[in-house]
Amino acid sequence: MSLRSFLEKMDSRGEVLRVKRRVSTRFEAAWVMSRLAKGPVLLFENVEGFDVRIIGNVAATRGRIYSALDVSEEGFYQRMIESLRNPQPPKIVKDAPVMEVEEKPRLSKIPILTHYEKDAGPYITSAVISARDPEGKVENVSVHRLLLLDDSHLAIRLVPRHLYKLWRMAKEKRTDLDVGISIGVHPAVMLAAASSPPFGVSEYGVANALLKGELTLIRCEKVDAYVPAEAELVLEGRISHREEVPEGPLVDMTGTYDAERLQPVVEIVNVMHREDYMYQALLPGGPEHRLLMGLPREVAVYEAVSKVVPKVKAVNLSEGGCGWLHAVISLEKQTEGDAKNAIMAAFGAHSSLKHVVAVDTDIDVYNPLEVEWALATRFQGDRDLIVIRNARGSTLDPSADQESGLTTKLGFDATKPLTKPSKGFEKAEIPSTPNAELIVEELEKRVKDIH
């Protein structure tokens, strides 16, 4: 299973748009991607100064992510939950498409994008990074941003999670941490790498389960790490246990600039790629970034809330909440208090959540107008508001305490009270007829023709 096989599938559906006009890696490609962020996959075929194509907006819609897994919207949560519970170790092979070319590092030959005006420099933003602990017993696969420093060095942003833990373990032994950096992989690998199984569970196993056993890996040539056999490009490197440099700013999921911090340096020691490789670009703060990071958290919230209420219909880490800070949950409650329990479970499942809105199953969680309508007609602040002060939140939120990450969290129970007749909360509907539907269809066509 490869990025290419997925693109062929999308191309057959008319969802790949080829950009033939010359485009620069400095702002231009990112600007085009931002303006078509919810549209088709973009294939830039004429990149100024490079003979490499750039592919962008690959997984920028929920529909494309569902297609990548061959699941419906309804089946997505269950597929993810099953894959996280039952990971399948991938097959290791000795020969692979990504091994067609092997060369010394020269990162300036790769069309790495500079995205926003105040970014610290060109950033690799779609890197899936694999590493193992010094004893080779624990493997982690995760997505991290990488700042270009020179032809053989990058700075990596390490959030205190599993890769950071592996790096600290290597640091305690005064040794560098070997990493395989894969660029241009199937969306299922990206999705698995953005998930958070327990430490010690390899995300490659999750990806292989998502792909029904079709993922294959190869061992890197110069470092002790494994990478997808059908990746477009692989950088083999070592995260220094000593050298750190200023990293950032870069735009993150909120669409605001993240802070500059001292972060470790990665030395690239070998490069492998397909002969005609594509460089995969991911727009920071764009829909693809938010979906790939947010969907695994939606699954975690769905699973946690399902344990405390009878039925969960859907979870949406909303676009307005940056795909990270706000959740809307539609649920079926049996007793008063179910919605509040659901809200508390959601906060426990995704610690970065700032605001959670619980609604009934007749509300579309993806429609902000319907959610606001539920708040307007079903919510009373003195009865239905949960306030949690000084809780751990996300430093991505610029209004939170940037040193401690502490924030105030709010939960909104916008479900119908069971103590009142339900008819008072029903949305009014006008009965339709075939003739009325035909009239509207004709009128909509005429309006479209006018515009």
Question: Which amino acid belongs to residue 254?
Answer: T
Q: Which of 33, 40, 31 is nearest to 61 (CA)?
A: 40
Superfamily of 76-273 according to CATH: Electron Transport, Fmn-binding Protein; Chain A (2.30.110.10)
Question: What is the DSSP annotation of 51-64?
Answer: SSEEEE-TT-SHHH
Domain ranges of the chain: 76-273, 288-418
Model pLDDT for residues 32-64, shown as the tens digit of each residue: 999 999 999 999 999 999 999 999 999 999 999
Question: What is the DSSP annotation of 96-147?
Answer: -GGGSEEE---GGGS-PPB-STT-SS-EEEEEEEEEE-TTS--EEEEEEEEE
pLDDT of the residue at 209? 98
Contact status, residue 88 vs residue 205, Cβ threshold 8 Å: yes
Cα–Cα distance measured from residue 111 to residue 46, given in angstroms and rounded to the nearest whole number: 11
Structure token digits, residue 411: 């939960």
How is domain 288-418 classified at the CATH fold level?
Answer: UbiD C-terminal domain-like (3.40.1670)
State the helix-helix crossing angle for 338-349 and 287-306, rounded to 10 degrees: 130
Per DSSP, the three-state class of 138 is coil
103: Cβ–Cβ under 8 A, 6 or more apart, which residues?
Answer: 271
Contact status, residue 384 vs residue 412, Cβ threshold 8 Å: yes
Per DSSP, the three-state class of 205 is helix
pLDDT of the residue at 105? 97
Model pLDDT for residues 238-288, shown as the tens digit of each residue: 999 999 999 999 999 999 999 899 999 999 999 999 999 999 999 999 999
pTM here? 0.92
Catalytic residue among 178, 252, 384, 397: 252
Model pLDDT for residues 400-436, shown as the tens digit of each residue: 988 788 999 999 999 999 988 888 898 889 999 999 9
Cα–Cα distance measured from residue 387 to residue 395, given in angstroms and rounded to the nearest whole number: 19
Same fold across 76-273 and 288-418: no
- Residue 11 is among the residues annotated as catalytic for this protein: no
Structure token digits, residue 79: 């597929």
234: Cβ–Cβ under 8 A, 6 or more apart, which residues?
Answer: 98, 180, 181, 182, 183, 220, 227, 271, 272, 273
